[in-house]
Chains A and B, each alone.
Chain A
C-alpha cells in the first residue's frame, strides 16, 4: 500500500553495540510497509574522530558513502545521529566549497554526487509517512508513559546543515510521541552533550555530563528517556549503573530508541524490538504502565 522506499545506512554501531536499534528499525519499517534496502558494502562515515583530525578524509569517506547509496533506489535513510550529521555536513560543505570538492573528487577519483536526499529516521516517520498516518496505525497507545526526549548534539546542528528541525528548540521527537499517545516532559538537558566518544578515551568526562542529563530527566518526572543515536544510548544506558555508583544516585531510567517506542505502540512484540538488549531493564516500568 505504501510507496515509501529508502536506501538504508545503518552505520557501524547498529551492526554491533546498537543491534537493537537496527532490529527495531527494520521491524518497524516492515510493519509500516516502508521498504528499506541496506547500501551494499558501505564504509564507516569517519564519525567525530575523522573530522577531528582530518576533515578531508571525513568528507571523502562520506562522499564515497553517498556514491555507494546511489546504487539503491530512494532517499538515504540514516539511523545514527552522528552519521546523519556527517553525511549532511559533507553535502553542505562540498556544495558550497569548490576547493574542497575538487580535493574530494581527487581522493575518490570520481565526481561526487550531492543531489540525493539524506534523511534521518525521525524525518521519515514524522514527515514522509506523516504523524496522522502513524497515529492511524497505533494499536497500543503509550498512555501514561512519561518520556524525556533526548536530542543530543548532532541531530539539529550545526545551524543550516541538517535542517531536521529548529536548532535550539526542536519538537520533532515530542510530536512523534504525541502521535503514538505518550506523554513527554519538559526538561533542561534535551540538547546537552553526553560526551559521546569520550567514552573510550576519557570516561570520567562522560560520567559527569551524562549524570547531569539523567538528573535533569528524573527531576522533570520522566519514566524513561528516548534517543535517536547509538552513542547517546551507550552513554545513558550502558554507563547508567556506573553513574549511579559514582554520584550516589538512583535513576533506573530505561533508555529507548525512537523505533522501539514507536514500534511498541504499533503492537510489535518485545522480541522484534530487541528490548532484551537494553541494559537498564524496562520490564518493570512497562508492566506498571500496562504495556507488557
Chain B
C-alpha cells in the first residue's frame, strides 16, 4: 500500500508539472499575453510600472519557476481583477462545484446501475433498445440546449423549479430549496456521464452472467433473484467503480457549461470569469486546483476499488 501511494505521489507530481507547464506557457506566450490586457489609454510609463511590479520583464521560464516556488508554499498569487488572493477566491467557489459533482455522481451511479442491469437482463428486448437508444441520445444532445429546454419547461412553463442560482445559504438555508436548486443542474450534468455508466454496467453485467460461477450458482439451486443480485451484480460492480475515475475529468468539463446555464457560482463559472477578464494568476490557480481535484478523486476511487475487489486487496 505504501509503495502504491509513493508511486502515485510521483505520478501526480509529474502530472501537475505537465499541466502547469502547458497552461503557463500557453497563456504567457500567446499574442497579447498578460501585458495585453491593460487599459488602452495606459501611458508607456504606467505600462512599464505594471510590467515591473508583476515581474513581467523576466523571461517566461524564470517566471514559471518563481510561480512554482510560491505555489509550493500554498501561495497562488493575487487575482489581477479583484486583488483578492487567488486561493481565497477558489476556496469560496470550489465547495459549490464539489456539491454539484458529488450529487451528480451519486445520482448517475444509482440510476446508471439500475438502467444498465435492466438493459442487460432484458437483452435484445424492447427495454434494452429503449435504454440503449436513450443513452446515445444523452451523449448526442448539446447539454446547454437541453438545459435551456428544461428551464423553459420546469421554471417558466410549470414554475416548479428555480431557473438559476445556488439557493439560499447560511442562516436561511432550507433543505427543500436546496434540492430544488440542485435538481436541474444535476440532471443536465449527469447527461455527460450517465450514458457511459449505463453502457458499462450493461456490458459488465453481460460478461459476468456468462461466467461459470453463475452457472454453478444456478445449478446448485439458488433462487434467480439471489443469483442475479448477490452473485452477479456484486462482481459486475467492481469494474464500474474503476470507470468513475475515468469519468471525473469529463464531469468537471461538463460542470463548466452546466454552471454557466444555471448561474451556479462554482469553479466552472469562475474559470469563465477568469478567462474573460484575462486574470492570469486566477487561471493558473484554477488549473492547479482542478488537477488536484482529479488526482485526489482518482486516488479515492483506487482505494475504494482495492477495498472492494478482494483480488487487489490481497495483492497489496
Answer yes or no: are A and B bound together in one complex: no
